[in-house]
Amino acid sequence: MSSKAASKAPPEEEASRMRLTWGYGVGVVQGKFTEPWNFGKPTQTCESCGAILWYEERNVKSRRPSQPKFSLCCVEGEIYLPLLKRAPPVLEELLNYVGPSFVHFHDNCRRYNAMFAITSMGGKVDKTVNDGNGPYVFRLNGQDHHLIGSFLPVEGSEPKFAQLYIFDTENEVQHRIRSISSDKENDGIDPKIVNSLIHMLDEKTMLWLRFSEWPGIATLNVILQM
């Protein structure tokens, strides 16, 4: 038997090493990926900065101390960042780790975010890189830019982007839902959440500009002198 073969670890030890090496965040059986491993919500607080972390993110993984130390947040107190301001109550409730509202908002947060976009992104997207043999890759050649379009929709078309702030604002909730839905139904979006986000942004965000409050917006002409 060669020395290389003789030094190979037993199957049980090899499987254990694979669990330690690859098991973070993924369930491992005999060194093979099977299904996501859910650690649950974070339960630890860094004693240096107060950051909330998972116990599995502790510095020393080979031990299980009752008061672990962490470096992902502040390198054990070497880095100090001012605390973020608390989110408005509406958003704080949606981002809470408990309750059905969090689960729903977490699963659909990108769709809720998209329906409040004022502009769309433009650019030369390279789609040839995705040939079906690997994970999706987004590649943009050259410079990206934003498209705002007209302030009023074409007759017979649904409003989108900036138009949602001007056109038929009495039915703004349904217009926003239809702007990202595949059909005329709510498509899993909660109208109450949409309405609460509209009011939250109107009241709390200084950079939030309601186009509908501009005088003469329907007849506004913009001239750019190049």
What tens digit of pLDDT does each residue of 139-176 get?
A: 988 888 888 878 888 888 888 888 888 888 889 999 99
Contact 58, 68 (CB under 8 A): yes
Domain extents in the chain: 9-38, 41-84, 89-219
pLDDT(132) > 70: yes
pLDDT(134) > 70: yes
Measured CA angle at 133 (ends 130, 137), to 5 deg:
35
pLDDT(121) > 80: yes
Per-residue pLDDT band for 55 (boundaries 50, 70, 90) equals very high
Selected residue with higher pLDDT from 135 and 30: 135
SS3 71: coil
- Residue 144: left (phi > 0), alpha (psi -120 to 50), or beta? beta
pTM for the full predicted model: 0.57
- For the chain, give the longest Cα–Cα distance: 89
pLDDT(34) > 70: no
pLDDT(185) > 70: no
The pLDDT value given to residue 196 = 93
* Cα dihedral 199, 203, 208, 213 in deg (nearest 10): 80
The pLDDT value given to residue 1 = 42
Report the pLDDT averaged over residues 40-58: 90
State how far the Cα of 101 lies from the Cα of 187, in Å rounded to an integer. 16
Contact 194, 101 (CB under 8 A): no
The pLDDT value given to residue 176 = 92
The pLDDT value given to residue 101 = 82
Query: Percent of the chain, pLDDT > 70?
Result: 72
The pLDDT value given to residue 17 = 41
* Residue that is written with structure tokens 């001007």 in the block: 166
Query: Percent of the chain, pLDDT > 90?
Result: 17
Summary mean pLDDT of the chain: 77
The pLDDT value given to residue 206 = 59
The pLDDT value given to residue 97 = 72
- Which amino acid makes up residue 118? I
The pLDDT value given to residue 19 = 38
Selected residue with higher pLDDT from 224 and 114: 114
The pLDDT value given to residue 220 = 53
Residue 86 φ/ψ, nearest 5 degrees: -65, 140
H or E stretch at 139: strand 139-147
